[in-house]
Amino acid sequence: MTQKSTAAAAGQGPLLVMGARDQRSSYLGTHMSLSLSAFDRTTLQPVTAQWRYVDEPNAVGGTSFKDTRPWVALKVQALGDSVTIRPTHIFGTASYTTIGYAALTAHLERGMVLAWGTAGRGGKVPPTILTFDDVTEVAATLSAFALRRSNGRIDAWGVGTAGGLVPDGFVMTDAVRITGTNGAFAVLRATGQVAAWGDATVGGQPPAAVQVLDDVKEIYSNWNAFAAVRKTGNVVAWGDAAHGGAVPPDIAALADIVDVRGNAGAFCALRANKTVVAWGSEGNASRIPTEIAARSDIRELVGASYCTFAVITEKGNVLAWGDPKYGGAVPQDIATLNDIEEVASAHVSCAARRSNGHVVAWGAAADGGTVPPNIAALDDIVQITSTYGAFAALRKNGNVVTWGNVQKGGDSSAVASQLQDVRAVYGNTEAFAAVLASGGVVTWGNAAGGGDSSSFKSLANGAGLTLTYEETAPSGGWQS
């Protein structure tokens, strides 16, 4: 069916879409559980929209949409209007021990990339890579970025031993996915095979048993290992065996794995029967409590912290397990809530967005585990995201509120006047980046670790480049 769109100029029609795209191409992305929401621009009331990845024929209806293919542009239609949301806009490297040692990369509208932050952590894009205008996906390790181009080729920059240097002879022309651990990158090829480079101890060298597979359909990462789900529904892994790189025989035999999420040293997998299994380091929540393992009503895997996992049930409850000091124990008053939409995790705390627009949190108070009263009272939150010690919440009116560790983005007061008409918020371990509806980015947090984006803005403005939330070119109507 072909339905003509009566939309006004891009971003000016009655349909308003808000929220960040998923960041699953980086192990930092395991901390997030991102969805997008649709609203009437005038009333700010939720509207039922049709959501469709541009390379798929069928749309899904709903007021919100869980993003499972963030490397593909997402077309949204409602109220006689149609907009296309660009693939993930911002990616980040990380530093867990030293403040001011991280970077952010922006995926620009023309298929180019620009970075800022610590140069040694990927904050400076090499000149040749700056010329690429066909980048389709970016991934990150602890201190390097890698990209996938529309021609299936790959490239990287940053610390060479952490994946920032593609080895000589590692030629790729059919890459369809890319993701990173803390020191290695893995690529899924169009053939269903996988390849990797970087630190072999954390997944940079797939074993022969994995290299011979030709039916891999998705790849995932934690800090120290990769996992791959095959078309058969089985899961395989490689990297640090003690931290998720070896799948136990009983889990390897399962043929109904539909999703995987990692943390620092373990993986959790959702099965088609709505139960969950886990493997890896016991200190990183690989042992699921009996009462959770017995449940068959798990709707989705959500934000994982350093050594915890969290899930949402079909009734909208949030469950978590792992070290209580890291958010592994949900307080009773939050556990009884049945309207949880998404969860984001920092290092030792978690925050959850409710369907009524409120946000709740638990874990270490100094790192965002307690929501300030003025923010807890808000009922218009549409997205939450985190750094390693703070949270940011996007409101329907386009403003952003923050709380948690000031050194890691918990205080946005210095840029509050600029945080107007924001569409999405992203972060690395110590800085946040907000994408504006009009194009451009506002950053805060540790300046050296990405909180100061002046170098990015100077380069982008000088070259006439923009970071936009939506595609600005006319889409030519709604095809399905």
User: pLDDT at position 473, please?
Assistant: 61
Backbone phi, psi, residue 235, to 5°? -120, 140
For residue range 143-190, list pLDDT tens digits in order.
Answer: 999 999 999 999 999 999 999 999 999 999 999 999 999 999 999 999
Query: What is the mean pLDDT of the segment spanning 111-125?
Result: 96
User: pLDDT at position 5, please?
Assistant: 35
**How far is the C-alpha of 176 from the C-alpha of 162, rounded, in Å?**
21
Backbone phi, psi, residue 465, to 5°? -100, 150
**How far is the C-alpha of 270 from the C-alpha of 280, rounded, in Å?**
15
User: pLDDT at position 456, please?
Assistant: 94
pLDDT at 7 over 50: no
Strand pairing partners for 434? Answer: 425, 442
- Name which of 75-79, 109-113, 177-181 the model is least confident about: 109-113
Give the percent of the chain with pLDDT over 70: 96
For residue range 370-410, list pLDDT tens digits in order.
Answer: 999 999 999 999 999 999 999 999 999 999 999 999 999 99
pLDDT at 88 over 60: yes
**How far is the C-alpha of 88 from the C-alpha of 123, rounded, in Å?**
18
Cα-trace Rg, the chain: 21
Q: What contacts 349, CB < 8 A, 6 or more positions away?
A: 305, 327, 361, 362, 363, 364, 365, 367, 368, 369, 389, 391, 404
User: How far are the Cα atoms of 30, 129, 182, 301 from residue 261, in angstroms, in the given order?
Assistant: 6, 30, 15, 7
Query: What is the mean pLDDT of the segment spanning 232-259?
Result: 99
**How far is the C-alpha of 1 from the C-alpha of 91, rounded, in Å?**
36
